[in-house]
């Protein structure tokens, strides 16, 4: 057994306890959060050499029933998500210090504790060896992020929190739990398959039942943001910006799409999905979310709301790529977990910096603001290019692989959908940067007194943005893990 996996799980949990018991001193509280995040990143990084060379790390915790265990596993796919979650937690911890102090937010101890607990759940999901372990940590993420969504403790916050909790826990109980029980009855196990081809279902299983279970699993992981179970995501925008970054980039939605794609590949498998024609209909189904969410984003003047609907759209790229069932499609989908994470956290960090400095939330109020905050809006522009899919930023790697994957799958409709969504991405991102740098300040409200964001916020923004560019120029490191998944 590899105890490194257990250590990775314990670090954010111990960090949570440390923050709770020493939360009255903000320096100690933030120090514990910072050290915990750095230690987690180092521990996850220490697994890279073995996984890089094809080894799968296993740590068995305990057995519930025969074939139902709580077991951790590090393989190529889990390393993709674990590296993203641990890296972005480190960046987000330092950003949240500047944000929460800058706005003098209340309940910062609870905020930091729940943030660390959410990462505990996300790392548990990343390193899950089976469907039961994944479900356990998936629910932990849902419950411990509720206080973050309802952080402001006002009517809007409580409404957003209730919608968040009801959508995520209700769908898991209504769809995922029954599916998991039926899968166990049919197969006698909940363990993931050793590769993406075979799946875990016996050859003589009823095809209609497998299709039903597949649909239940897709909708059961509602954190994936697929319409019509997406309403919780825009509703959660009442939370502080570091929480929005957590929801959209670090943990919550990434937990949803990671679970969805993990189950598609390692429970059902590409052979079963081909045989039952599950892949292409799924790609077109989530394609609807890609287009509609992009159109809704165009109509939003509130910056965080526009970014929220952008996330709803972008998440479906990940599922769409995997559903194409071609190597480039799967690789494009999985690499987007990384690309979207770093680019979207940059965008939300920029939105938070703008709010801390100017208290402005609407895009229409930001004309000319780029002249006063050039680094913030410069980073926003670069991250926007990544979301659009322009080279040399990370998002280009996603779009390139998805386009090739759609051609190899002989799906002209998906190819056209990707082109249309790229144009919509440009339509709702480009005007923000243009207005900030070339728009005229509102009459009677010059931004001459406005300065750049505080360094405590600006440094994490620049780091996240720089990583997006580095991944775009040197993608081979992350592509190694992605290609190992497809074999």
- Measure the CA–CA gap between 268 and 197, rounded to whole angstroms: 8
Question: Which residues, in sequence order, are CB contacts of 114 under 8 Å at separation 6+?
Answer: 144, 145, 147, 148
Q: Considering Cα of 383, then 387, then 391, then 392, what sign does the dihedral take?
A: positive
* Tokens linked to 167: 């959508």
Identify the pLDDT of residue 126.
96
Pick the closest to residue 171 from 213, 216, 105 (CA basis).
Answer: 216
81 touches 128 (CB < 8 A): no
Identify the pLDDT of residue 111.
80
- Measure the CA–CA gap between 106 and 118, rounded to whole angstroms: 19
20 touches 113 (CB < 8 A): yes
Identify the pLDDT of residue 465.
96
- Measure the CA–CA gap between 472 and 466, rounded to whole angstroms: 10
In the chain, domain spans: 277-487
DSSP letters along 288-352, please? HHHHHHHHHHHT--BHHHHHHHHHHHHHHHHHHHHHT-SHHHHHHHHHHHHHHHHHHHHHHHHHH
3-state SS, residue 393: coil
- Measure the CA–CA gap between 286 and 57, rounded to whole angstroms: 33
* Tokens linked to 341: 């994470």
Encode the chain (487 residues) as per-residue pLDDT tens digits: 689 999 999 999 999 898 888 767 778 888 888 999 999 999 999 999 999 999 999 999 999 888 889 999 999 999 999 999 999 999 999 988 877 776 666 667 788 888 889 899 999 999 999 999 999 999 898 888 877 777 666 666 667 677 777 777 778 788 889 999 999 999 999 999 999 998 999 988 999 999 999 999 998 887 777 888 777 776 666 667 777 777 767 777 888 899 999 999 999 999 999 999 999 999 999 999 999 999 999 999 999 889 989 998 999 999 999 999 999 999 999 999 999 999 999 999 999 899 888 888 899 999 889 888 999 999 999 999 999 999 999 999 999 999 999 999 999 999 999 999 999 999 999 999 999 998 887 655 556 667 888 888 899 999 999 999 999 999 999 999 999 999 8
Identify the pLDDT of residue 170.
77
Identify the pLDDT of residue 70.
94
- Measure the CA–CA gap between 18 and 476, rounded to whole angstroms: 38
* pLDDT tens-digit series, residues 329-348: 999 999 999 999 999 999 99
Residue 117 CA to its chain's centroid (Å): 16
* Bridge partner residues of 57 (DSSP): 74
């Amino acid at each position: 057994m590899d105890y490194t996996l257990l250590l990775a799980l314990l670090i954010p949990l111990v960090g949570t306890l440390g923050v709770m018991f020493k939360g009255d001193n903000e320096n100690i509280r933030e120090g514990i959060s910072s050290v915990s995040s750095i230690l987690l990143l180092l521990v996850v990084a220490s697994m890279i050499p073995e996984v890089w060379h094809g080894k799968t790390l296993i740590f068995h915790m305990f057995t519930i029933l025969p074939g139902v265990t709580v077991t951790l596993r590090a393989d190529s796919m889990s390393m993709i998500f674990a590296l993203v979650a641990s890296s972005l937690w480190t960046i987000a911890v330092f950003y949240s210090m500047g944000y929460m102090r800058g706005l003098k937010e209340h309940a910062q101890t609870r905020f930091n504790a729940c943030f660390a607990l959410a990462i505990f759940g996300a790392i548990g999901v990343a390193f899950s060896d089976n469907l039961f372990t994944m479900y356990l940590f998936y629910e932990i993420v849902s419950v411990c992020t509720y206080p973050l969504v309802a952080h402001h403790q006002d009517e809007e916050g409580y409404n957003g929190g209730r919608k968040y909790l009801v959508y995520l826990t209700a769908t898991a109980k209504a769809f995922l739990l029954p599916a998991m029980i039926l899968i166990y009855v049919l197969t006698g196990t909940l363990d993931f398959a050793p590769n993406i081809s075979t799946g875990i279902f016996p050859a003589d299983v009823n095809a209609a039942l497998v299709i039903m279970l597949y649909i239940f699993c897709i909708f059961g992981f509602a954190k994936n943001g697929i319409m019509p179970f997406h309403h919780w995501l825009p509703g959660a925008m009442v939370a502080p910006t570091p929480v929005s970054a957590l929801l959209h980039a670090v943990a919550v939605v990434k937990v949803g799409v990671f679970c969805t794609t993990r189950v598609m590949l390692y429970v059902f498998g590409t052979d079963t999905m081909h045989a039952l024609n599950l892949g292409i209909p799924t790609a077109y189904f989530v394609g609807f979310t890609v287009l509609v969410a992009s159109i809704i984003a165009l109509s939003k003047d509130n910056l965080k709301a526009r970014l929220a609907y952008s996330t709803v759209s972008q998440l479906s790229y990940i599922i769409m790529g995997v559903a194409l069932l071609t190597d480039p499609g799967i690789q494009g989908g999985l690499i987007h977990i990384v690309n979207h994470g770093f680019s979207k956290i940059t965008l939300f960090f920029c939105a938070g910096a703008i709010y801390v400095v100017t208290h402005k939330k609407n895009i229409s109020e930001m004309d000319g603001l780029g002249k006063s905050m050039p680094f913030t809006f410069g980073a926003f522009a670069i991250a926007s290019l990544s979301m659009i899919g322009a080279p040399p930023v990370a998002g280009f790697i996603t779009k390139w692989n998805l386009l090739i994957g759609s051609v190899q799958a002989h799906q002209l409709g998906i190819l056209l959908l990707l082109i249309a969504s790229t144009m919509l991405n440009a339509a709702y991102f480009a005007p923000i940067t243009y207005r900030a740098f070339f728009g005229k300040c509102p009459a009677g409200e010059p931004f001459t007194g406005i300065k750049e964001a505080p360094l405590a916020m600006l440094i994490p923004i620049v780091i996240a943005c720089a990583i997006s560019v580095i991944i775009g120029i040197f993608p081979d490191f992350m592509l190694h893990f992605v290609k190992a998944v497809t074999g």
